[in-house]
Amino acid sequence: MSSLFSKTIALGKELKITDQEFANLRDFIYEQCGIYIADNRKYLLENRLGNRLKKLNLRNFDEYYNYLRFDAGKVGEMKKLFEVITTNETSFYRNPPQLQVFQEKVLTDVLEGCRASGRKLRIWSAGCSTGEEPYTIAMIIHELLRADVANWDIRITANDLSDRVLESARKGEYNDYTLRTTPKEIVQRYFEPENGLYAVKPEVKRLVSFGQINLRDRAQLKRVERSQIVFCRNVIIYFDDAMKKQVISAFYDNLLPGGYLIIGHSESLHNITRAFKPIHFPGAIIYKKEG
């Protein structure tokens, strides 16, 4: 280990980000993926990027910013950057009241419409993190269709910005904590105990297709197959109003007429768009694209 690298590690805890360094990095991150980091979250970049500076043997955040913008190795580092700035707190059957509305109202309505038009169902989980949301959706579909699921053409497109969380999602192995809000009968029906973890069964995994996507990239968004339902829960809270409008507009374009948009229970389309019709249920608001 070089003396310079040793010195960098020793000073790592003392690294502080200046206002200009924060502004440069915040604007760069926004340019790349649309995530907006407010001034009062300056500490977030300081804490989360400190280890990256150590790893790259950089002395300050300005050097890191220049590395991202100009160095030939920045492609790999961009992936690392996306991983450390995104939050991936999730679980199976998260927000049960909302999922109950999805199962009993939204999905039931969509499936009824699909029965008359080829039994083709497409759902987009945008911001799927480590896979709990799309797998939950797949389990709910199984609960409604039972053995008849084999007679349907079903695909859940699950996307996220981070390759690392997508790799975890594809494995489909989870611990007790991420199953904390999952009904016991669901765990018994759709998981196999494996080396102290719970592995999602193949019949559930078959319905889900994972892939990397940047919600900032309009071309990528346009390539997603059109859907009857779009899930994007607890994602747009990280965007400013301009980015929110861009992403919600992409979801509107993706949805088939009569399709549904489901966002986080603490999120709202108020002041973003009036293109969707809000439908109020106990414990949930669902947005519908009228057709």
Closest CA relative to residue 132, chosen from 182, 84, 83, 85: 182
Number of domains composing the chain: 2
Q: Tokens in use for 141?
A: 């579909």
Q: Is the pLDDT of residue 36 over 70?
A: yes
Query: Do 127 and 185 lie in a common domain?
Result: yes
Residues 173 and 43 in one domain: no
**71-99 pLDDT tens trace:** 766 678 888 888 887 766 688 999 999 99
Angle at Cα 262 formed by Cα 226 and Cα 109, nearest 5°? 70
What average pLDDT score do residues 232-261 get? 95
Q: 123-150 as b/e, with b when 16 or more CB fall inside 10 Å? A: bbbbbbbbbbbbbbbbbbbbbebeeebe
Are 37 and 147 members of one domain? Answer: no
Same domain, 214 and 244: yes
For β-strands 227-232 and 120-126, DSSP reports them as parallel
- Would residue 278 count as lying in a domain? yes
- Based on the domain organization, do 188 and 61 belong to the same domain? no
Bigger pLDDT: 75 vs 268: 268
Taking residues 94-112, what's their average pLDDT? Answer: 95
In this structure, the answer to whether residues 209 and 167 fall within a common structural domain is yes
> At which of 31, 55, 85 does a domain end?
85
Residue 90 falls inside a structural domain: no
Residues 235 and 106 in one domain: yes
Q: Does 36 reside within a domain?
A: yes
CATH number at residue 204: 3.40.50.150
Residue 63 belongs to some domain of the structure: yes
Task: Say whether pLDDT at 109 is over 50.
Answer: yes
Confidence class for position 13, pLDDT limits 50, 70, 90: low
Task: Tell me, yes or no, whether 206 lies in a domain.
Answer: yes
Residues 109-138, mean pLDDT to the nearest whole number: 95
pLDDT at 253 over 70: yes
74 and 172 both lie in a single domain: no
For residue 60, the domain's CATH number is 1.10.155.10
Closest CA to 93 of 146, 145, 143, 137: 137
What range defines the domain where residue 139 resides? Answer: 96-288
- pTM of structure: 0.85
Residue 167 and residue 127 share a domain: yes
Say whether pLDDT at 8 is over 70. Answer: no
Same domain, 139 and 171: yes
Whether residues 139 and 47 fall in one domain: no
Residue 129: predicted pLDDT: 93
- Of the candidates 271, 205, 195, 258, the residue with the CA atom closest to the CA atom of residue 228: 258
As a whole number of angstroms, the distance between CA 279 and CA 265 comes to: 13
Torsion angle, CA of 107/113/115/117, rounded to 10 degrees?
-130
Q: What's the CA gap between 223 and 138, in Å, rounded?
A: 22
Say yes or no: 282 and 148 in one domain.
yes
**Could you give the CA distance from residue 125 to residue 134 in angstroms, rounded to a whole number?**
6
20/18 Cα distance (integer angstroms): 5
Of 53, 85, 117, the one marking the end of a domain is 85
Structural domain includes residue 91: no
Of 57, 85, 113, the residue that ends a domain is: 85
pLDDT at residue number 76: 80
Q: Does residue 230 lie within any of the structural domains?
A: yes
- In the DSSP assignment, the letter for residue 105 is I
